[in-house]
Amino acid sequence: MILRAAIVFLLILNLGIATWWIGGGNAMHAPVPQPMPAGVPGLRLVGEGAAATPAAPASATVLPSAPPAQTGTMATTEPAVIDACLRFGPFADAAARDAARAALRVAGVAAQPRETPARSGRGWKVYLPAFASREEAKAMGERIKAAGISDWYVMNEGEDANTIALGRYGGEDAARRREAELKAKGFAAQAEPLGDTRAQSWLDARLPANANRAALAAISPSKTVDCATLR
């Protein structure tokens, strides 16, 4: 009887313990945090503050804006300002003319060839080389007139346009005397035969304002001609 009673007691005891265990009697109750004294900061885990504070968004890098496209018009080439027109030569042959033409091109002057045919002799002429314009030629004619020389004439057309004719003579001696007389009065007269000349080669050129006259003179002798007579 005693053994049976002990067994029953143990069964009841085990049943009670099982019931208590299933009912959560062993659950650990979290301790209630005690309030901290005023002025004492609370404890935080390392990294807790970083997690609580959201990271500031990265500022966007502002790239400099591209400069506005240039919409201006294309630069146009200004036409060269013509300062004067010259006739270079005469040249002994085409080879000499072509060599001078190439040298003028290097100097920035475009020249065009001109040929004068051979002529039979018709005496001599005395003249002043062509001026840049008819107005300049007339002004020189007035100076000649004021010097007491009445035999002069401004040529109007052809290769001799704007030259001043100062007389024609049958022989060289008379022409040379006239040339010397005019030079003595300060006029750069020239005497040359009329006709009976060989065919000659020349180069005609319109000079830009920045042309180097000294460099051009070193390439070939020249005389001023009316630009209107050039091709």
Q: Residue 72: its pLDDT value, please?
A: 46
Report pLDDT for 101. 95
Average pLDDT score, the chain: 76
Per-residue pLDDT at 151 exceeds 80 = yes
For the chain, list the domains and their CATH numbers. 79-118+198-231 (3.30.70), 119-197 (3.30.70.1070)
Residue 73 has pLDDT above 50, yes or no: no
How many C-alpha atoms does 69 have within 13 Å on its Cβ side? Answer: 2
Outline where 56-212 has alpha helix (H): 94-106, 134-146, 172-184
**pLDDT of res. 31:** 54
Q: Is the dihedral of CA 177, 182, 188, 190 positive or negative?
A: negative
Q: How confident is the model at residue 200 (pLDDT cuts 50, 70, 90)?
A: confident
Position 15 confidence tier, pLDDT thresholds 50, 70, 90: confident
- Read out DSSP for 50-102? HHHSPPPPPPPP-PPPPPPPP-PPPPPPPPPPEEEEEEEEEESSHHHHHHHHH
Report which of residues 117 and 75 the model is more confident about: 117
- Output 74 or 105, whichever has higher pLDDT: 105
In this model, does residue 158 exceed pLDDT 80? Answer: no
Instruction: Identify the weakest region by mean pLDDT among 65-69, 97-101, 110-114, 204-208.
Output: 65-69
Q: How far apart are CA 153 and CA 146, in angstroms?
A: 14
Confidence band (pLDDT; 50, 70, 90) for 67? low
pTM over 0.85: no
pLDDT (tens digit, 9 = 90+) per residue, 88-139? 988 888 899 999 999 999 999 999 999 877 665 678 889 998 888 889 989 9
Mean pLDDT of 20-32: 56
Least confident of 112-121, 158-167, 170-179: 112-121
Mean pLDDT of 213-226: 89
